[in-house]
Amino acid sequence: MDSNKKLGLIGRNISYSFSKKFFENKFQKLMLKDFSYDIFDLNEINEVENLFSSPELLGFNVTIPYKEQIISYLDELSDEAEKIGAVNCVLIQNGKKTGYNTDAFGFEKTLFLHKKNAQDKALILGNGGAAKAVKYVLDKHNIPSKTITRNSETNFENLDTETVQEHKIIVQCTPVGTFPNVKDCLKFPFDALSSEHLVIDLIYNPNYTQFIINASEKGAKTVNGYYMLEQQAEKAWEIWNFQKK
């Protein structure tokens, strides 16, 4: 009889997790009785040490705010995780801990499902782990991008309509507007948006953030983070199950 295989998600204040439901449904569908998926809510990243001592742990997903902090606890990084500087999936094999970034894979699938040829320049809102994965994908496909943060030269206070008009892809990578704070919205010149714009908000809960609602009112094509989330989870599942050396 195979021993138990533990998977999970580390983050802070993870009150709602897509991943747990997603993987438990998967175990059920595939009739995998020996797999479990747990939520590991860590106040500080160093608490991850306790997790590593569990012999059944096959790997885990990483969410806000630990995608960058987890790196110093790992033995190795995949190429894309190293280039991005953020990890959202960890594989543990024979005690060796390897970090991957499946956010990049998920975003790439989402982008090319919706992108039109004329949409050839992007604005990235935010600069956390997810924003880094987004930038990596845009760079890979030679799509010029500009990152907007609170402290960047072009920031949320001085971002003008002209810049928004020029950049037909807008990717919202901050947690602003996530459940339960669904009325919150980034300061953004929505009037500059048109039907020529593609607006991707990486948030999936709620389905329609205030940012997406405001953008769709201006005629922009809007997409939430749900498909990206599914795709990055599928990729993680592949990593945990098919990387057996």
- Tell me the residue length of the chain: 245
Q: Is 204 left (phi over 0), alpha (psi -120 to 50) or beta?
A: alpha
CA distance 26 to 44: 30
> Cβ contacts of residue 117 below 8 Å, gap of 6+?
none
CA distance 114 to 119: 10
Which residue is listed with tokens 């009325």?
Answer: 183
67 is catalytic: yes
Pick the closest to residue 178 from 100, 63, 67 (CA basis). Answer: 63
Pick the closest to residue 66 from 88, 38, 39 (CA basis). Answer: 88
Contact between residue 173 and residue 124 where contact means Cβ atoms under 8 Å apart: yes
Catalytic residue among 6, 20, 67, 235: 67
Q: Is 142 left (phi over 0), alpha (psi -120 to 50) or beta?
A: left
C-alpha torsion angle, residues 26, 30, 33, 36 (rounded to 10): -20
CA distance 46 to 191: 44
Contact between residue 125 and residue 171 where contact means Cβ atoms under 8 Å apart: yes
Contact between residue 187 and residue 157 where contact means Cβ atoms under 8 Å apart: yes
Active-site residue set: 67
